[in-house]
Structure 1
């Protein structure tokens, strides 16, 4: 009986070892996939998402009109309509609070994408100053899920959602 339990234990250890090797291989291959450069199609949508995220998060109470126009230039559909309808409120609130927001995109990932639509996740940090902050400002961390659609050969943002 000692031989059988020893061979059973050896077989079980072999199965566990093979399982670990397979798991390590899967982790390594998925890591490599994350590190691969974006395809040309992904680069196009990523560039459009980056530009729109920066435009959307940039605020300067002293000159809001070109900033609002920059957002609208990269927007379409319901997002464009909603942003346009909130324009006066956005501008007056920025002026009232003397707001300035200077963003940077720190990470970006292209999710689902086909020829006409894509989802992009954007991580951006922004230094914000206003009447409620000290002169140095506060860093705010934004995570956005952006939906883009291709219209007239351009990628335009159709939806922006703050995510956690």
Structure 2
């Protein structure tokens, strides 16, 4: 990423990553949870958060529109509005830098959950390639906090923050 928008995004990502690591340290006990350890409600929230995080962290400069739509389909509220307002800039920046990013969620935990809201903390790795890295991708590590709300029968992401 280049220019002012690239620096802003990198700064925002770094700040969010700091917050997530702190939150993970406060919420997660030393062992990871498997799907069998979760209630049905926790599994539903975890599935929605995993899907949204993967969509959010995936980039393909050759075909950004479906990726942007995937994020928006799992988003709501201010997060959806902010992401929607940045869609053209996100797409053009991906094309300009020839960026690709393939993500995987390596760990997640449902930190808070009630009938209509949840907080999910997750760790993800992403292999990122762009004009600077050439064809050789670099692995980047992300920690995210996703706030989700229930709308009808779906869990949608209302906020995504990178945490350290």
Aligned match of 2:53: 53
1:152, distance to aligned residue in structure 2 (A) = 1.4
* Mapping for residues 8-27 of structure 1, pairs under 5 Å: none
Moved over 2 A (4+): 30-36
Higher relative contact order (CA 8 A, sep 6+): 2
CA distance in 1, matches of 2:155, 2:140: 27
* Mapping for residues 1-164 of structure 1, pairs under 5 Å: 37-164=37-164
Would you say how many aligned residue pairs link Structure 1 and Structure 2?
135
1:78, distance to aligned residue in structure 2 (A) = 0.3
Relative to structure 1, the CA distance from residue 32 to residue 141 in structure 2 (aligned partners, 3 Å threshold; closer, same or farther) is closer
What is the root-mean-square deviation of aligned Cα atoms in Å? Answer: 1.7
1:136, distance to aligned residue in structure 2 (A) = 1.7
TM-score by length of 2: 0.79
1:33, distance to aligned residue in structure 2 (A) = 9.6
The higher radius of gyration belongs to 1
SS of aligned partner of 1:132: coil
1:40, distance to aligned residue in structure 2 (A) = 0.6
CA distance in 2, matches of 1:53, 1:32: 21
Gapped regions of structure 1 (runs ≥ 5)? 1-29
Gapped regions of structure 2 (runs ≥ 5)? 1-28
1:32, distance to aligned residue in structure 2 (A) = 7.9
